[in-house]
Amino acid sequence: MFPRVSTLDSVRPTPAGSRSSTWATLEDVRDMADHAFSRSAGAPLITGNAIRLLRDARENYPAWLEAIRSARRRVHFENYIIADDRTGNTFAEALIERATAGVSVRLIYDWLGAFGKSSRAFRARLAAGGVEVRCYNPPRLESPLGWVSRDHRKLLTVDGEVGFVSGLCVADLWLGDPLKDLEPWRDTGVEIRGPAVTELERAFGRVWAMLGAPLPAANGRTADENNRPGTAGSTAAIAPVGDVAMRIVASEPATSGTYRLDQLVVAFARQRVWLTDAYYLGAPTYVQALITSARDGVDVRMLFTRASDVPLLKVVSRIGYRPLLEAGVRIFEWNGSVLHAKTAVIDRRWSRVGSTNLNLASWMGNCELDAVVEDEGFAHQMEQMFEQDLANATEIVLEARRRIRANAAGTKRHARDHRHGSGRAAASAARIGNVLGAALMDRRVIEPVERRTLLGTGAVLLGLAVLFVVFPRVLAYPAGALLLWIALTLLYRGWRLRRPRSSSPPSDSRTTSQ
């Protein structure tokens, strides 16, 4: 359970013989809080697990490869990017070797994540080697804006016995290149054993079913595996291997389970909220939760990357620093290579590790996966790691004139431009839209730090206005083509939903568009 609220510790004992005692009251409140967390995340608390913290690719990749190479029955691998480079080919060879040996190997990759990172020949080689490969959300004529939703998960399960959840994709960037003076990307993952692995497999099975025929059984196991001892579909079928309690929060588009849980846990925090994120663009309600916690005396610290692989995002993200800093939130920027981790540790008890960034694209638009751990020992490890990261970070402060600056000069830059999908671009657009709305509707005071956004957007709109006036066809034809595409899509989908001419009920086998 989440650490007890301070006010609960001061509850006075009720008189003897009364209807309820202090301990019953505390137990009731804890039970209510547990239900609140479970309902917010859409994920139950699972006990009896063992967890291992893995830092960077140097610890994650070897553990992943060892598990894959030891697979006897099945490998489920879901990752936003599996690049056609040295690292990606190492994993491809391991997957193909297991598939050739008769292991069921299934792989899900994201179309946009793979765009420009791996070739059709690379994926064909996997398929030819016996790996079942499915692509999440490739472009379709009947879905002009379908590309907005991405599968941003980083998940691996092997034999239903061990699972890995992280922020790492599979590419050389995470290992770095000493010859080119490129440091490894900073990232975090976990290895999980115990009943929670069944929830990881169930999460994989849901996305697998979105992309084609579902797995042979709802619990993510093949038909012959269901007949083996100890492979029932519930988490109780896996014997406890430790004493760690956790939730597996598997978000899908429009579910926002992690978003609701993140806000609720911050609201419950009494001592500290330490967050690490790669692409921060906080939603107003989440920002307000952080601000009120900081003003209430909670130690709120946020660690972001400085050498971002999305340069525009760093500028837009900094726009949101001021209200946090003014409320007492401490913000740090990582001085090394790209910091790609998405983690949280709160009140020395609650921790989160996974793929969800603190922005609306991750919270509401993508398929994401996080391990939410309620364990003091693991939280202690997370706090130690956070403090080690702060030793290589620069704190951002407000000057006397209320301008934002770093309190130390000089930052190493080892990042290369690396397009990482539409999710962060969509979140950036939301932040820019917030600034523009404030300027056009006068609904709040415009801060000086937002000057660049207003000037840049104004210049772009001025250029578009000139094009419309001088060369109207330059923009009219593309706009007309886009409107035609959307109109045809709506007509096509409406036609597919027409009532059947026959009075008989439709067959259960009829397919519908997703």
pLDDT tens, position by position, 91-115: 999 999 999 999 999 999 999 999 9
**Torsion angle of C-alpha atoms 366, 371, 376, 382, degrees rounded to 10:** -70
Confidence of residue 447 (pLDDT cuts 50, 70, 90): low
Residue 413 and residue 311 in contact, taking contact as beta carbons nearer than 8 Å: no
The pLDDT, as a whole number, for residue 59 is 98
Confidence of residue 192 (pLDDT cuts 50, 70, 90): very high
The pLDDT, as a whole number, for residue 499 is 62
Lowest mean pLDDT among 17-26, 236-245, 310-319: 17-26
Lowest mean pLDDT among 132-141, 308-317, 432-441: 432-441
- pLDDT score of 411 more than 70: no
Lowest mean pLDDT among 82-86, 250-254, 305-309, 321-325: 305-309
Mean per-residue pLDDT of the chain: 80
Lowest mean pLDDT among 140-144, 164-168, 268-272, 335-339: 140-144
The pLDDT, as a whole number, for residue 20 is 47
The pLDDT, as a whole number, for residue 13 is 45
Nearest alpha-carbon partner for 458 in 440, 441, 475, 472: 440
Q: Report, as an integer, the average pLDDT of 462-487.
A: 75
The pLDDT, as a whole number, for residue 437 is 54
Q: Report, as an integer, the average pLDDT of 204-220.
A: 85
The pLDDT, as a whole number, for residue 408 is 53
Measure the CA–CA gap between 23 and 28, rounded to whole angstroms. Answer: 8
Cα angle 242, 248, 252 (rounded to 5 degrees) comes to: 170
Nearest alpha-carbon partner for 411 in 393, 438, 437, 435: 393
Highest mean pLDDT among 1-5, 180-184, 323-327, 449-453: 323-327
Lowest mean pLDDT among 22-26, 117-121, 311-315: 22-26
| Domains of the chain with bracketed CATH | 46-250 (3.30.870.10)
Residues 6+ apart with CB under 8 A from 117: 81, 82, 83, 84, 171
Query: Which residues on adjacent β-strands are paired with residue 367?
Result: 151
Q: What pTM value is reported for the model?
A: 0.75
The pLDDT, as a whole number, for residue 35 is 76
Confidence of residue 311 (pLDDT cuts 50, 70, 90): low
Here the tokens at position 32 are 């209510």
Confidence of residue 177 (pLDDT cuts 50, 70, 90): confident
Here the tokens at position 500 are 């059947």
The pLDDT, as a whole number, for residue 27 is 62
pLDDT tens profile 343-398: 999 999 999 999 999 988 889 889 999 999 999 999 999 999 999 999 999 999 98
Confidence of residue 182 (pLDDT cuts 50, 70, 90): confident
The pLDDT, as a whole number, for residue 405 is 64
More confident of the two residues 20 and 149: 149
